[in-house]
Structure 1
Amino acid sequence: MTAAIHLDNLTISYGPTAVVHSVSFDVAAGESFALVGESGSGKSTILKAISGLAPDWTGTITVDGIVRAHAPDRAFARTCQMVFQDPYGSLHPRKTVDTCLAEPLAIHGIGGRDGRVKDMLAAVGLDQRFRFRFPHQLSGGQRQRVAIARALMLEPRLLLLDEPTSALDVSVQAEILNLLKKLRREQGLTYLMVTHNLPVVSFLCDRLAVMRHGRIVEVAGVDALKTGRLEEPYSRELYAASGGTLQPA
């Protein structure tokens, strides 16, 4: 199966300090892959490097068969988009939902704005009455639906999901996870998701990589997570801390 994301020997630094060390993995086209681990383990930094927000890295990043450069690449936005943890912080407070969703189309010179905005609102389960509201007039779950809709406006094949439900109430988290699962199925999307929530991984993902101190310590299928048969001691610690019951390795 073709790799939608290929990382080879990726090391990412902030100034003189390396925070991600020699990370390598592939995400297959159509797969949902999770990076899990404690805060500060380097998970979100990997997403930032892929998206161009952390340019100080060495190694190889390939997305949809194209090797990523360190410089900004406008065409990349048509292939890959990112959904951030905080839906309020990622939306402009003085722009309506309509403006927010139409902006990517205007930047890339894509027509059919009106119909595309209507279709995307429907795709993420928002009524048309939300179209001309501002972010502060929406609930947290509604804002995250708008953020997901904006990410999909350019019809990318890949979404980078940085803790997409952690800022939401538990009941709303389930709604957003169900939406992400539905969109992946309907649009054939590939997900690379960062989370510390192992039940979310069990629900949404096919495989996971466990990170500690900027390194990957284990890559496993989600069945190993569901059955508690992770191999590395640190992975098993995370699983036990999530409330799972460990099985013999």
Structure 2
Amino acid sequence: MSAIELNNVDISYGDSKVVHGVNLDIAEGESFALVGESGSGKSTILRAIAGLAPDWTGGISVLGRPRTHGIERRVARQVQMVFQDPYGSLHPRKTIDAALSEPLAINGVGNRGERVAAMLMAVGLDQRFRFRFPHQLSGGQRQRVAIARALMLEPKVLLLDEPTSALDVSVQAEILNLLKRLRREQGLTYLLVTHNLPVVSFLCDRLAVMRHGRIVEVADVALLKQGKLVEAYSQELLAATEGIVLVGTPS
């Protein structure tokens, strides 16, 4: 079954159309990347899937069911988003315990204390972090909390919007290894937005290259690793990232 399906999707902000005729079919359990330069429409697609960019036409389906244009509780239980800036995405005046408990409270889920403790362990944080505030954590620790919060409702799909770009290179590698392990252990589907092709090589199965709001190429990551992407713009992206290696991950 498809985890995410987009059929001829256009997305607008006011009078400006920023995504044009996008078609995607991402299988359940797949890790898929959207790559391209800033402003190419990558993050806008994530926002539309999550219900944060409601001005779209075409069709968007999540786990086999069409979604509407607004926030849907059903979709929120199945699809969660991890944002680029882990400090900006966490409330500065709420403890980590409060941040992780909030989605459980909103959805009437019990055993909150046990679930919070278990999720902290799952993302590699011990219990001493539980009652700290975001400013008391490092960038990597904050992003682990953001990932934990996204997983509290046991979603099947994670939308990852540049989840490591605000972190130091060595910390990036730790978060990527964590995401890879969580996908394997929990059977997650990932849709990743990034401009970093080494990240795609490490974490993903397939990628779509976007330019000016359109998909110009869809390819297996094996072709990316071999430097055999077809389109001229895809080759430009490859040339721009040549020589970049992720510290702490297989090259």
Tell me the residue number matched to 1:6.
5
Q: Which residue of 1 aligns with 2:62?
A: 63
* Aligned counterpart, 2:100: 101
Structure 2 unmatched runs, 5+: 244-251
Q: Which amino acid aligns with 2:157?
A: L
> Residue in 2 aligned with 1:91?
90
TM-score, normalising length from structure 1? 0.97
Deviation digits for residues 129-151 of structure 1 (CA, Å, limit 9, x no counterpart): 00000000000000000000000
CA distance, structure 2, for counterparts of residue 231 and residue 222 of structure 1: 13
Runs of 4+ in 1 over 4 A off after TM superposition: none
SS at match of 2:230: coil
| Matched positions, count | 244
2:136: which partner in 1? 137
What residue is the counterpart of 2:219 in the other structure? 220
Rounded to whole Å, the distance in 1 between the matches of 2:2 and 2:64 is 8
- Which consecutive unaligned segments of at least 5 residues does structure 1 have? 245-249
Q: Provide the secondary structure at the position in 1 that maps to 2:75.
A: helix
Return the offset for 1:7: 0.3
Distance 2:84 2:65 in 1: 27
Distance 2:70 2:134 in 1: 31
Query: Shift in Å at residue 27 of structure 1?
Result: 0.6
The equivalent of 1:82 in structure 2 is 81
Q: Map 1:74-223 to 2 at 5 A.
A: 74-223=73-222
| Inter-partner Cα distance in structure 1 for 2:11 and 2:126 | 41
Work out whether residues 52 and 70 of structure 2, in 8 Å CA contact, stay in contact via their aligned partners in 1: no
Separation in 1, partners of 2:198, 2:150: 24
Which residue of 1 is the match for residue 233 of structure 2?
A: 234
* One-letter amino acid of the structure 2 residue matched with residue 204 of structure 1: L
Give the counterpart letter for 1:16 in structure 2.
D
Aligned to 1:33: 32
Amino acid at match of 1:8: N
What SS does the aligned partner of 1:184 have? helix
Distance 1:75 1:232 in 2: 38
Q: In the alignment, residue 116 of structure 1 is paired with which amino acid?
A: R
In percent, how many aligned pairs have the same letter? 77
SS in 2 for 1:210: strand
Structure 2 distance, partners of 1:177, 1:187, is 15
CA distance in 1, matches of 2:48, 2:24: 14
TM-score of the pair, normalised by structure 2: 0.96
Partner of 2:247: none
Question: In structure 1, what is the Cα distance between the partners aligned to 2:74 and 2:107?
Answer: 9
SS at match of 1:115: helix
* Per-residue deviation, 1:71: 2.4
Cα distance between partner residues in 1 of 2:11 and 2:76: 21
Letter in 2 for 1:187: Q
Deviation readout 1:175-218 (Å, 9 max, x if unpaired) = 00000000000000000000000000000000000000000000
Mapped to 2, the partners of 1:207 and 1:216 lie a distance apart of: 13
Question: For the residues of structure 2 that align with 1:203 and 1:71, how far apart are their CA atoms?
Answer: 33
Q: Distance in 2 between matches of 1:175 and 1:116?
A: 23
Distance in 2 of aligned mates of 1:107 and 1:75: 13
